[in-house]
Structure 1
Amino acid sequence: MHPQVSWILSRQAALIVILALAAWLMFGDMAGISTLIGGSIGIVANLGYVLRAMRMNVGLDPVKAYRAQTAGEGFKFLLTLIGFALVFLKFKDVAVAPLFLGYGSTIVIFWVALLKQR
């Protein structure tokens, strides 16, 4: 796996653990668990994107690169939908705000990675 991909996924996991602990300490069990679940949805979706997009051998062909990225994004979207659907169908006590905070925080790491590149 590319070093930058590993960096992103590891930072996402670390941030989720920190946020889940903070939510648990401040708001209780459900907030901590919901934050952890939301972050996990984001991490699994991002990992699915990486595995799908990087599976295709694109070389220097921009059309193949575009198709690989599109396939990865589509797979990421599907995994995200499935993750949230499962949570809302099976976990009736979910704390919605912490769930989306956990998920949204995984997106922030992409911006940090872009800033890190500069």
Structure 2
Amino acid sequence: MTKPPVLVIAAVQLLLVSLAGAVLHLNGKPVTALSVLIGGALCALPNAYFGLRAFRDSGARAAHRVVGNFYRAETGKFVMTLVGFAAVFAAVRPLNAAALFISYGLCVIVQWVLVARLVR
């Protein structure tokens, strides 16, 4: 069984934010580095969950289960993202909120670009 493309996308997202975090940390900005890592993880980890959950079944006979899996996966991804942001803002101090949101937004853009390339 091949990996769903969404898992590959999540891995690429985590790799990119890890590299960005490492560069920022080495440049003396540990709070920004941590915020970038957390922002990327808040995007990539729910995406990975979605990929594992949504692509469990395949085939015409499993169509009803596939649709159900997608709904449950999207709901889980949404809840994980909300709880993740709430937990980060409640527990992580100090935090660079701008870096967190920029990292999250860039991970979403990376996802869109990679999905567009895979669909072609």
TM-score (norm 1): 0.81
Against the structure 1 CA distance between its residues 27 and 74, is the aligned structure 2 distance closer, same or farther, given a 3 Å change threshold? farther
Count of residue pairs the alignment pairs up:
117
Q: Using the alignment, how far apart are the partners of 2:6 and 2:112 within structure 1?
A: 13
The one-letter code sitting in structure 2 at the alignment partner of 1:65 is V
Q: Using the alignment, how far apart are the partners of 2:74 and 2:107 within structure 1?
A: 15
Identity across matched positions, percent = 30
Q: Using the alignment, how far apart are the partners of 1:62 and 1:51 within structure 2?
A: 17
Equivalences for residues 1-118 of structure 1 within 5 A: 2=3, 4-24=5-25, 28-55=29-56, 57-60=57-60, 62-117=63-118, 118=120
2:24, 2:32 within 8 Å by CA — same for their partners in 1? yes
Q: CA deviation at 1:94?
A: 0.9
1:23, 1:98 within 8 Å by CA — same for their partners in 2? no
> Which stretch of structure 1 is more off in the superposition, 45-54 or 16-25?
16-25
Give the root-mean-square deviation of aligned CA atoms: 2.2
TM-score (norm 2): 0.80
Q: List, as ranges, runs of 4+ consecutive aligned residues in structure 1 with deviation greater than 4 Å.
A: none
Structure 1: tracts of 5 or more residues without a match: none
Q: CA deviation at 1:48?
A: 1.4
